């Protein structure tokens, strides 16, 4: 079997940490790309020099261009700007639109057969943009958010019950924002629905903390946002595709009528394998859950519309 190649665009907090997870899991060789000269080269070299200590066998290089990315199997995109003081969400959207459009075009020119995993924010909108800019089929472009949001819900459930995170499964739908839709009815501890183990008040408190979990980290870090868990989420998706594991994970994907939604990238459970997004799983929702999905989709649609002409 030939060695797999993973390109990670953006060698900031999320990108460099994704390189770390992917390297220690020996998912393949890694090319780290950043626009700033030295950052990708320096972090790649540092990580490569950790390999003899930790004993992982991945070749890791850093670059400012796309030559070395040629023939990548997976491309994880984390490049982008964070919102600065005085910058509106709209300004940020336009800035990141330019970045993601140009990055996607350069990625696709060198790796026409890759799968793209988007991480940059606003996540659902940037996934949509990458899908359109790539010209790829919808099974090959996806965004990472649901795995992270579900993992946060799992963490809070584990702490609340004082049990291992290993036995907890959580599912959620929706856009990557405060309107995300955690699904307690579809979240379990060793097969037991959390609705059997926690009171309504406890569940509501954990759901609310999950919705605001990104902001909780920003509030603590002050100068950045979460990166260990988001990068672990992106690498989990890459692993499912590269190893053809067919895991069912919540991912942001293009919908064509599923959940009553069309022409939108939105978080839903999917089967991930060698074919990328191999299947979209449609859950039966009650009226409250349907309404929450509708509201979340409305927000995502608005953001996609704000992209303007593509």
List active site positions. Answer: 176
Nearer to ligand NAD, 80 or 276 (CB): 80
Q: Using CB positions, name the residue nearest to ligand NAD.
A: 12
Kindly state the smallest distance separating residue 147's Cβ from ligand NAD, in Å: 9
For 133: left if phi > 0, alpha if psi spans -120 to 50, otherwise beta; the answer is alpha
Calpha distance 284→286 (Å, rounded): 7
Kindly state the smallest distance separating residue 176's Cβ from ligand NAD, in Å: 6
Bridge partners (DSSP) listed for residue 285: none
Kindly state the smallest distance separating residue 21's Cβ from ligand NAD, in Å: 13
Token readout for 113 is 């057969």
Contact between 10 and 231 (Cβ < 8 Å)? no
Kindly state the smallest distance separating residue 20's Cβ from ligand NAD, in Å: 12
Bridge partners (DSSP) listed for residue 141: 116
Kindly state the smallest distance separating residue 179's Cβ from ligand NAD, in Å: 14
Kindly state the smallest distance separating residue 247's Cβ from ligand NAD, in Å: 18
Q: What are the residues binding ligand NAD (CB under 6 A)?
A: 9-15, 33-36, 39, 78-80, 82, 99, 103, 119-121, 123, 144-145, 148, 176, 224-227, 230
Contact between 160 and 199 (Cβ < 8 Å)? no
Name the DSSP class of 139: G
Count of CB atoms situated within 10 Å of the CB of 304: 23
Nearer to ligand NAD, 14 or 131 (CB): 14
3-state secondary structure of 174: strand
Calpha distance 25→187 (Å, rounded): 27
HSE toward the beta carbon, residue 74, CA cutoff 13 A: 33
Following DSSP, what letter does each residue of 231-298 receive, concatenated? HHHHHHHHHHHHTT--EEEEEEEEEESGGG-EEEEEEEEEEEETTEEEEE------HHHHHHHHHHHH
* Sheet of 168-169, strands arranged across: 168-169, 188-189, 192-193
Nearer to ligand NAD, 180 or 189 (CB): 180
């Amino acid at each position: 079997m030939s060695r797999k190649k993973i390109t990670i665009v953006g060698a900031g907090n999320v990108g460099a940490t994704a390189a770390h997870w992917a390297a220690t899991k020996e998912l393949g060789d890694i090319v780290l790309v950043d626009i700033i000269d030295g950052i990708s080269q320096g972090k790649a070299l540092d990580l490569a020099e950790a390999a003899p200590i930790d004993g992982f066998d991945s070749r890791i290089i850093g670059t400012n261009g796309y030559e070395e990315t040629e023939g990548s199997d997976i491309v994880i995109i984390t490049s982008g700007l964070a919102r600065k003081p005085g910058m509106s969400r709209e300004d940020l959207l336009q800035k990141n639109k330019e970045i993601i459009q140009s990055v996607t075009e350069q990625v696709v020119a060198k790796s026409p057969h890759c799968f793209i995993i988007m991480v940059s924010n606003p996540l659902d909108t940037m996934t949509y943009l990458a899908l359109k800019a790539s010209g790829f089929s919808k099974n090959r472009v996806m965004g990472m958010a649901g795995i992270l949001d579900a993992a946060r819900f799992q963490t809070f459930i584990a702490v609340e019950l004082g049990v291992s995170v290993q036995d907890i499964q959580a599912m959620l739908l929706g856009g990557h924002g405060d309107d995300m839709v955690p699904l307690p009815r579809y979240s379990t501890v060793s097969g037991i629905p959390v609705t059997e183990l926690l009171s309504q008040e406890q569940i509501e408190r954990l759901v609310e903390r999950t919705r605001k979990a990104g902001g909780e980290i920003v509030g603590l870090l002050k100068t950045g946002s979460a990166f260990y868990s988001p990068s672990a989420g992106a690498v989990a998706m890459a692993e499912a595709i590269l190893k053809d594991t067919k895991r069912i994970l919540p991912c942001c994907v293009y919908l064509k009528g599923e959940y009553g939604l069309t022409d939108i990238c939105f978080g839903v459970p999917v089967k991930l394998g060698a074919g990328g997004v191999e299947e979209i799983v449609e859950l039966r929702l009650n009226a409250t859950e349907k309404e929450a999905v509708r509201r979340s989709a409305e927000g995502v649609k608005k953001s996609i519309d704000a992209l303007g002409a593509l």
